[in-house]
């Protein structure tokens, strides 16, 4: 089913698989616009398969391929990888459930991500998301300094919470990680509803991160 724009000002995107093609596109755009000239750092974009079915495959986030790639990037010196890990940071980007106008009570009153309100950072005390206090502070400061809208969400204690590949990768690689993504409605349906502005907010934030 082809995607289309909707709304009085065409402010919504109606299309399947926005979860998680939006962040895959935004990450690729940010990396393409990134200029590594004069930089001593390496920017890496990982696009995994099988996230919705557990990630335990040769192509999923549970694979050892991530560590193998990082080892090759560090060259032949085995002592270099731990040093690089300690200086590195990862964004785990996956779509977010926006607050539904008919079910506002399902979200905490202080955590109600709105479509077109900007990329949303995810928190969970049970480690269903990998965001930590340090990572959250760094991302807030990055968004503030670059004038990029940033929202935050924490699922209510009495509601079940999904997860992402963030905790999987953070545990396997020891990388500091922040879970985030663009808010949308109708997730996993054949006609998901996202904001037309949020993918560009994501590109701006991911590029500033690099």
Question: What does the pLDDT read at residue 159?
Answer: 82
Confidence class for position 95, pLDDT limits 50, 70, 90: very high
Question: What does the pLDDT read at residue 158?
Answer: 84
Residue 102 pLDDT more than 80?
Answer: yes
Single out the residue of 10, 4, 19 nearest to residue 181, CA to CA: 19
| Dihedral in degrees, nearest 10, Cα atoms 128, 99, 159, 24 | -30
Question: What does the pLDDT read at residue 187?
Answer: 94
Question: How far apart are alpha carbons 133 and 123 in whole angstroms?
Answer: 9
Is there a contact between 1 and 191 (Cβ–Cβ < 8 Å)? yes
Condensed to tens digits (0 to 9), the pLDDT of residues 138-188 reads 999 999 999 999 999 998 888 888 899 999 999 999 999 999 999 999 999
Question: How far apart are alpha carbons 62 and 79 in whole angstroms?
Answer: 24
Q: Residues with Cβ < 8 Å from 169, sequence gap 6 or more?
A: 61, 66, 90, 92, 130, 175, 177
In the predicted model, what is the mean pLDDT of the chain? Answer: 92
121 - beta bridge partners? 152, 180
Question: How far apart are alpha carbons 32 and 21 in whole angstroms?
Answer: 16
Question: How far apart are alpha carbons 206 and 78 in whole angstroms?
Answer: 29
Condensed to tens digits (0 to 9), the pLDDT of residues 65-76 reads 899 989 998 888
Question: What does the pLDDT read at residue 77?
Answer: 86
More confident residue, 41 or 84: 84
Residue 52 pLDDT more than 80?
Answer: no
Question: What does the pLDDT read at residue 59?
Answer: 75
Is there a contact between 70 and 86 (Cβ–Cβ < 8 Å)? no
């Amino acid at each position: 089913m082809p995607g289309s724009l909707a709304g009085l000002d065409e402010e919504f995107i109606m299309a399947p698989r926005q979860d998680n093609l939006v962040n895959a596109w935004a990450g690729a755009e940010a990396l393409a616009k990134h200029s590594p000239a004069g930089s001593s750092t390496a920017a890496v974009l990982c696009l995994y398969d099988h996230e919705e079915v557990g990630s335990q495959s040769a192509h999923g986030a549970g694979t050892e391929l991530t560590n193998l790639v990082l080892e090759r990037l560090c060259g032949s010196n085995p002592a270099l990888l731990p040093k690089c890990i300690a200086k590195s940071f990862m964004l785990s980007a996956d779509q977010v459930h926006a607050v539904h106008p008919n079910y506002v009570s399902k979200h905490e009153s202080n955590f109600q991500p709105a479509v077109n309100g900007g990329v949303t950072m995810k928190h969970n005390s049970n480690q269903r998301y990998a965001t930590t206090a340090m990572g959250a502070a760094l991302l807030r400061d990055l968004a503030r300094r670059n004038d990029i809208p940033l929202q935050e969400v924490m699922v209510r204690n009495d509601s079940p919470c999904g997860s992402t590949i963030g905790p999987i990768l953070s545990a396997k690689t020891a990388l500091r990680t922040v879970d985030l993504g663009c808010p949308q409605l109708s997730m996993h349906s054949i006609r998901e509803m996202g904001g037309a502005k949020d993918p560009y907010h994501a590109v701006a934030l991911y590029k500033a991160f690099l």
